[in-house]
């Protein structure tokens, strides 16, 4: 019985050990399977800044796609950023977060609110979700700031900066503040920030825009000049609107002895009205000139207008162009300076030459001429005693006297030709829209849309103004192609 009991006990013990081993093996198998599944379902987190693009593509990492493009919009509330991909030629909108790593071209960390529209960046993201994990300023990009002088050839899509030409295409991104604008909205008065890669420009940002200065009650200044700061000096004409860069300026108006100054601060796209009603011209000083011309019947022209001279001619103080003509005699041309109240001018025409004499008579207003000289001119000759009879009055007031001198034809011709603009009188510029807006060409009013005017060749600033709407200006290139120009601009925007 004892042997049998031992046998039964040994048999049960072996069965227990076998079961225990089987359970252990099963447990090990379960652990192995569970571990493999966990390994297969997990992703290794890698810092993208420590890996190259080649290392990230095709592996389990924080991004699977990269794009190089230009920032078009940043929405800080929705954590969205839109970039124009310069290779794919399309917009891509990404979702970013506080974990998105942003760096400049020198690896310095930035925040999204430090980024700007127009910057050229490299974006690293998941293609499916468009979640951005990394963004940095493109290291091959360049930027030119404070660009004051530039030219754009829109036909060939070339922009000239300094002495170098750069290409651009139809996808050029131009911004003013947070607003995207067209190239026609750029003005020569604007200051720009230009960005690109290599020889191509991808974005232009207006860092300093332009505003408008309208003059009011300024009739006495017409014919003079207006100066805005030190960069703008233009003639004063009727119904003018001046385009100037935003900033603080001293505006100076001058017409002869009449001068005025006003300090302004001009904001972007703002129109300022300067009322000059407090400034008036003083009553002009006048002089009376007795012309004695030989032979009698000769024609007298003053500033190109035929004048009767049987009686003394009334003229304001200043300079005048004089011309005397008669058939059979040589013409005389001279410059007459009026600086006294009364004077006598003697002009003798001859077949060989024209002779001129001035006989100056004094007055209480301080002319430097001999008194009573008008009674001594019948012979056509002057005497020294008559010219000197005024004594000290003539010496002290000589700078205010009336005199005449021969005209320098060569200098006159040169001055009249300087500053001329090429005009195509056979063709016109027509503006059809927006209807009702006043049109200013380089600050001079041309009429109300629809309007046509002579075609002037060159680059012009066309400004549109209408009550209740925001004033806008556009830069237009008018080429000498022998054709009419028809322009249609966007509708005006109502002021808030």
Give the integer Cα–Cα distance in Å for 307 and 296: 14
The answer as to whether 26 is a domain residue is: no
Statement to judge: residues 222 and 325 lie in one domain:
no
Domain holding 234, by residue range, is: 214-275
CB 111 within 8 A of CB 125: no
pLDDT, one tens digit per residue, over 44-61 is 344 444 444 444 544 444
pLDDT given for residue 56 in this prediction: 55
Segment 408-437 mean pLDDT: 70
The answer as to whether 28 is a domain residue is: no
Supply the pTM of this predicted model. 0.60
Statement to judge: residues 466 and 482 lie in one domain:
yes
Give the integer Cα–Cα distance in Å for 446 and 455: 12
Statement to judge: residues 199 and 321 lie in one domain:
no
Q: Residue 463 maps to which CATH number?
A: 2.60.40
More confident site: 227 or 12 = 227
For residue 61, what are its two tokens? 């990492």
The answer as to whether 496 is a domain residue is: no
Statement to judge: residues 400 and 297 lie in one domain:
yes
Strand partners, 146: none
Statement to judge: residues 431 and 368 lie in one domain:
no
Statement to judge: residues 269 and 391 lie in one domain:
no
pLDDT given for residue 251 in this prediction: 96
Residue that finishes a domain, picked among 359, 386, 416: 416
Measured from the Cβ of residue 81, the count of other Cβ atoms closer than 10 Å reads 24
Statement to judge: residues 406 and 430 lie in one domain:
no
Q: What percent of the chain has pLDDT over 90?
A: 58
The answer as to whether 133 is a domain residue is: yes
Residue that finishes a domain, picked among 246, 275, 304: 275
Statement to judge: residues 64 and 150 lie in one domain:
no
Residue 81 pLDDT level (bands cut at 50, 70, 90): very high
The answer as to whether 8 is a domain residue is: no
The answer as to whether 27 is a domain residue is: no
pLDDT, one tens digit per residue, over 233-243 is 999 999 999 99
DSSP annotation of 481 reads S
Output 431-437 pairs: Cβ under 8 A, ≥24 positions apart: 431/462, 431/486, 431/487, 431/488, 431/489, 432/486, 432/487, 432/488, 433/488, 433/489, 433/491, 434/464, 434/466, 434/489, 434/490, 434/491, 434/492, 436/466, 437/464, 437/465, 437/466, 437/469, 437/492
Segment 430-454 mean pLDDT: 93
More confident site: 162 or 129 = 129
Segment 190-206 mean pLDDT: 97
Residue that finishes a domain, picked among 390, 416, 442: 416
Task: Please report the DSSP string for 388-420 in residue order.
Answer: HTTTHHHHHTGGG--EEEE--HHHHHHHHHTT-
Give the integer Cα–Cα distance in Å for 207 and 176: 7
Query: Domain count of the chain?
Result: 5
């Amino acid at each position: 019985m004892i042997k049998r009991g031992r046998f039964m006990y040994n048999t049960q013990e072996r069965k227990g050990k076998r079961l225990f081993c089987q359970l252990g093996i099963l447990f090990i198998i379960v652990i192995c399977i569970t571990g493999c599944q966990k390994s297969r379902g997990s992703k290794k987190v890698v810092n993208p800044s420590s890996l190259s693009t080649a290392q990230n593509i095709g592996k389990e990492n924080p991004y699977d796609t990269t794009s190089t493009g230009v920032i078009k919009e940043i929405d800080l509330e929705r954590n969205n950023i839109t970039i124009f991909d310069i290779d794919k030629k399309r917009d891509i909108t990404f979702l970013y977060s506080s974990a998105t790593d942003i760096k400049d071209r020198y690896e310095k960390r930035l925040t999204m609110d430090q980024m700007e529209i127009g910057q050229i960046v490299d974006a690293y993201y998941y293609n499916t979700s468009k979640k951005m994990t990394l963004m940095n300023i493109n290291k091959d990009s360049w930027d030119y700031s404070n660009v004051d002088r530039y030219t754009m050839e829109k036909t060939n899509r070339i922009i000239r900066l300094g002495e170098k030409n750069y290409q651009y295409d139809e996808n050029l991104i131009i911004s003013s503040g947070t607003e995207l604008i067209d190239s026609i909205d750029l003005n020569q008065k604007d200051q720009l920030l230009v960005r690109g890669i290599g020889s191509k420009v991808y974005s232009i940002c207006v860092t300093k825009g332009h505003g408008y200065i309208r003059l009011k009650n300024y009739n006495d200044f017409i014919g003079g000049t207006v100066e805005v700061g030190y960069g703008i000096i233009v003639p004063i004409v009727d119904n003018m609107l001046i385009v100037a860069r935003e900033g603080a300026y001293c505006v100076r108006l001058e017409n002869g002895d009449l001068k005025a100054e006003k300090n302004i601060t001009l904001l972007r796209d703002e129109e300022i009205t300067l009322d000059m009603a407090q400034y008036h011209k003083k009553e002009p000083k006048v002089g009376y000139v007795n012309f004695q011309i030989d032979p009698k019947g000769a024609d007298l022209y003053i500033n190109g207008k035929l004048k009767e001279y049987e009686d003394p001619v009334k003229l304001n103080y200043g300079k005048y162009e004089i011309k005397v003509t008669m058939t059979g005699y040589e013409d005389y041309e001279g410059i007459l300076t009026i600086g006294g109240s009364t004077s006598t001018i003697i002009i003798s025409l001859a077949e060989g030459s024209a002779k001129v004499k001035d006989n100056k008579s004094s007055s209480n207003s301080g002319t430097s001429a001999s008194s009573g000289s008008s009674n001594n001119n019948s012979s056509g000759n002057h005497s020294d005693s008559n010219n000197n009879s005024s004594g000290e009055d003539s010496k002290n007031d000589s700078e205010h006297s009336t005199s005449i001198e021969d005209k320098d034809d060569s200098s006159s011709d040169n001055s009249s030709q300087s500053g001329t603009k090429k005009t195509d009188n056979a063709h016109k510029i027509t503006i059809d829209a927006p209807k009702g807006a006043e049109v200013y060409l380089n600050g001079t009013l041309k009429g109300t849309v629809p309007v046509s005017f002579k075609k002037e060749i060159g680059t012009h600033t066309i400004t549109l103004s209408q009550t209740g709407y925001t004033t806008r200006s556009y830069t237009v290139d008018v080429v000498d192609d022998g054709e009419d120009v028809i322009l249609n601009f966007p509708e005006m925007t109502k002021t808030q």
